[in-house]
Chain A
Amino acid sequence: MKQLGMIALMLVLANAAAASTVEDCEAQFEAGNAAYEAGSFAEAAEAYEAVLAECRSFEAEYNLANASFKLGQIGRSILHYERALQLDPNNDDARANLQLANTKVTDRIEPLPTQGLRDLWERVVAKGRLGFWSVTLLVLWLGGFGALSWRLLAREEAMRRIATTMAAVLLALSVGAGFLFSATLHRDDMSHEAVILTPTAEIRNAPQTTNSLVLFILHEGTKGRILSRTSDWIELEFANGSVGWVAAGQVAEV
């Protein structure tokens, strides 16, 4: 009994702490919006960054991207629009603004024609899908075991057969949902894309400044897919298939 009480107490305390954090985030978000409406975009950006330091929020990412755009920081605005779309892949506002921000990028990279499936996968396992896949997994899993329990209790053979089929289907689907949940969780833990934040970035053929060649120079806002990384360098693949190493300090991971 004592142990149960301790667990309950911990849950209550954790819930109270979480509620306090959410309140702080809401207050900072409102302050950011007020600053943005007043035209103080730098102040607004600071407030949204404070929100994102404590909470995950599509709206805060989106608004921070807007404030960065207004400040002329195209790279940062693209970074945060991408992060916002990770949380809500179907948001029209974020897509439209990202499209506009991308027109300001200096580099025009023609994408390879094999992006369709990858884009679909990226959207299925986007960060924002984690909640959806976890709920789907839970519902299917519990439904499957519920059907198994029904099978135990059913007295008629026909009912038991129906329960067996339902359990098999639901548990199979829950395995699929579990796979997608795991992929989303893995993506959540490790970013797969990065955006250049400095005005120019040298893309080299090796993760070092000496004994390496500058393959090409890219500019602020250009996005690449992370292939590998060292402590100081990140290997990126760009939409046209070009691959090279960029200093980690010049990019931010989506």
Chain B
Amino acid sequence: MNGSIQPTLLVSAALFALGAIGFLTRRNLILMILSAEMMLHGVALSMVTFSKYHGNNEGQVFTIFILTVAACEAGLALALILSLYHRTKSLDMDLWSALREDDMPSPVDHDSTAGHALPNTHPVQPTLTPAGIPLDPKTPLNPQRLTREEDATHV
């Protein structure tokens, strides 16, 4: 035990890292949520280890709260996934990549996919204004609406 890592902490850190890889790389919505749950498992395991290390029940109480939050997260995530699936008829996360900022590159890795010809079935999504780019004060914030008002004044 001379300066070596507490073994359960090593397992919990590895679980957290593997869950992070799954959350970042998988394209299936459900697998992303499952990977997030695995990260929560890692945190809970380290909490229980600290609780044993200090001989105190507080870490285990925190783990009960982690369980509560994980249950809430699972319920909300499944409702969200169902409503997203209702729009696109697909669990693919990359169909929602139109929601990214305008100056970001596409997250889809086109060269590595074999059969990546999914039809983009969803309607036109709202786009975000790019952050960090100062707006020209002469250009209106919402040009469509202003032109409509101009039209109204012209009529």
Query: Is chain B a partner of chain A in the same complex?
Result: no
Chain A residues close to B by CB (< 8 Å): none
Chain B residues close to A by CB (< 8 Å): none
